[in-house]
Amino acid sequence: MDRSKRIFITALWALLVLTMTGIILTGVMARRFAANAEPANAPLPLIAPVPAFHLIDQNAKPLDSASLLGHPYIVDLIFTRCGGVCPMMTAKMASLGLQIAPAVHFVSVSVDPKNDTPAEFKKYAQQFHADESRWSFLTGDLDQITVLARGLLLVYEPATASEPITHSDRFLLIDSNGQIRGVYRSNESEELKRLVTDANTLAAK
């Protein structure tokens, strides 16, 4: 057999081996993924408890963590002077209210309580046509809000002389026992669809 034929046959064998290896690895990975994947009806994880808090809403009425027990709710961090992600988050929260069972409430916590007075939050809620029968806009003591944000595992840094307020753009789903059950990116449509499904699942329990 001449040299060119040997090279050709060797190349064919190498290609065959690589192809078979790829098929085997694909099968192994698929089986591992199937074994590790959660079934569609798997219960939501228990992530962490919501820390205790005592704040006031847009009507200047006290609202604490204990008063939210008994029904699921969705919470986010925003502030009324935000020129970035907050208006988008609030608009999407309003949209979620049209897709999620009435038993699920909504809570937006100010990360700029110095400026977000109840009166300012009241105007903000009206601007977004918020259903205030199920949506609370909370403000209050900055230190308490900082502890709450960090207890919710959400990024939050108050403004400094050189840096603006930094805060998470996530929505959190809380169950009726005050446990965090899901974290969702507010700018991802698929995650918002999952949030609707998960929230309605908790509401039905």
Q: How far apart are the first and last CA of the chain?
A: 75
Are 145 and 186 in the same domain?
yes
Are 159 and 70 in the same domain?
yes
User: Does 4 score more than 80 pLDDT?
Assistant: no
User: Does 140 score more than 90 pLDDT?
Assistant: yes
Range of the domain at 82: 48-203
User: Does 40 score more than 60 pLDDT?
Assistant: no
Are 63 and 18 in the same domain?
no
User: Does 169 score more than 60 pLDDT?
Assistant: yes
User: Does 195 score more than 50 pLDDT?
Assistant: yes
State the pLDDT confidence band at 26, using cuts at 50, 70 and 90.
very low
Tell the residue number behind the tokens 């059950």, with chain if given.
181
Q: For strand 105-110 and strand 166-167, is the pairing parallel, antiparallel, or unpaired?
A: unpaired
Q: Between residues 8 and 176, which one has the greater pLDDT?
A: 176
CB 140 within 8 A of CB 62: no
**Of 171, 166, 201, which is closest to residue 186 (Cα–Cα)?**
171
CB 142 within 8 A of CB 155: no
Are 84 and 103 in the same domain?
yes
User: Does 151 score more than 60 pLDDT?
Assistant: yes
11 phi, psi to nearest 5 deg = -65, -40
Are 26 and 105 in the same domain?
no
- Residue 145 inside a domain? The answer is yes
Average pLDDT of the chain to the nearest whole number:
85
- Residue 8 inside a domain? The answer is yes
User: Does 35 score more than 80 pLDDT?
Assistant: no
What is the per-residue pLDDT for 11?
Answer: 40
Are 2 and 58 in the same domain?
no
Are 123 and 162 in the same domain?
yes
Share of the chain above pLDDT 70, in %: 80
pTM for the model? 0.79
pLDDT tens-digit profile of 52-106?
A: 999 999 999 999 999 999 999 999 999 999 988 999 999 999 999 999 999 999 9
Structural domains of the chain, count: 2
Rounded CA gap, 131 and 102, in Å? 10
Q: For strand 179-185 and strand 156-157, is the pairing parallel, antiparallel, or unpaired?
A: unpaired
Rounded CA gap, 188 and 91, in Å? 14
User: Does 24 score more than 70 pLDDT?
Assistant: no
Scanning the chain, the segments in alpha helix (DSSP H) are: 3-36, 86-97, 118-127, 142-151, 189-203
Tell the residue number behind the tokens 């595992």, with chain if given.
153
Rounded CA gap, 116 and 118, in Å? 7
pLDDT tens-digit profile of 170-191?
A: 999 999 999 999 999 999 999 9
Share of the chain above pLDDT 90, in %: 75
Q: Between residues 68 and 24, which one has the greater pLDDT?
A: 68
CA atoms within 13 A on the CB side of 180: 20
